[in-house]
Amino acid sequence: MSWINMNQRSRRIAFLVLLAVAVSGPWYFERIYVPPTYICSAPNIRLDENFCGMPVAITAFIPWFGRDLMQLVTTLAAGAIDPMSLLFFSFLLLLALPFLSTLVLILWEGRRRWRRGQSVLLGLGLTASVLIALLERHPALWGVWLYVAAAAAMLLLEVGAWHKQEAQL
């Protein structure tokens, strides 16, 4: 565990790299109706007897994120609530917060409260990614599963590191 405490910056940089790889991998399928008499051609994968799916990375949402976020804010300000849009953006935000908090910890190390906040944000991001992974249980969606594994490992390492630091104080 001492190596983990000594190399926090390297561990966090490796985590950011894993998250970057994970979000560029497939997270869900864009479903396409294809009758059973036809085959699904690559990159599509047969999901069930009537549907094929094209694996899509979560990074596909980045170009639309700013525009749709502004539309969501104006809709909420007008008093109309679209629960699906709100849920969708909440999940995207929960997935992005561990990345941002890890970046902050790399740049400004040593703040004990920030390390605890990092653990909370990792837990929230892990929860959101597990829910997404459970919605689309398919082995071809390696991006979401890599995010789950990286966030779980980082959460365990962060909690272990700040518990060890608390014991030394």
Under 8 Å between Cβ of 90 and 136: no
Q: What is the pLDDT along the chain (169 residues), one digit of tens a residue?
A: 455 556 788 888 999 999 999 999 998 888 899 998 999 888 888 988 899 999 988 888 777 776 777 777 777 778 777 777 778 788 888 998 999 989 988 888 766 677 788 889 999 999 999 998 898 788 888 999 999 999 999 999 888 877 676 666 5
Q: How far apart are CA 120 and CA 110, in angstroms?
A: 17
Q: What is the separation, in whole angstroms, between the first and last Cα of the chain? A: 16
Contact 28, 136 (CB under 8 A): yes
What letters, b where the CB count within 10 A reaches 16 and e where it falls short, cover 138-167? Answer: beebbbbbbbbebbebbbebbbebbeeeee
Closest CA to 150 of 18, 3, 1, 27: 18
Read off the DSSP letter of residue 36.
T
89/72 Cα distance (integer angstroms): 9
In the DSSP assignment, the letter for residue 109 is: T
pTM, entire model: 0.82
pLDDT at 111: 65
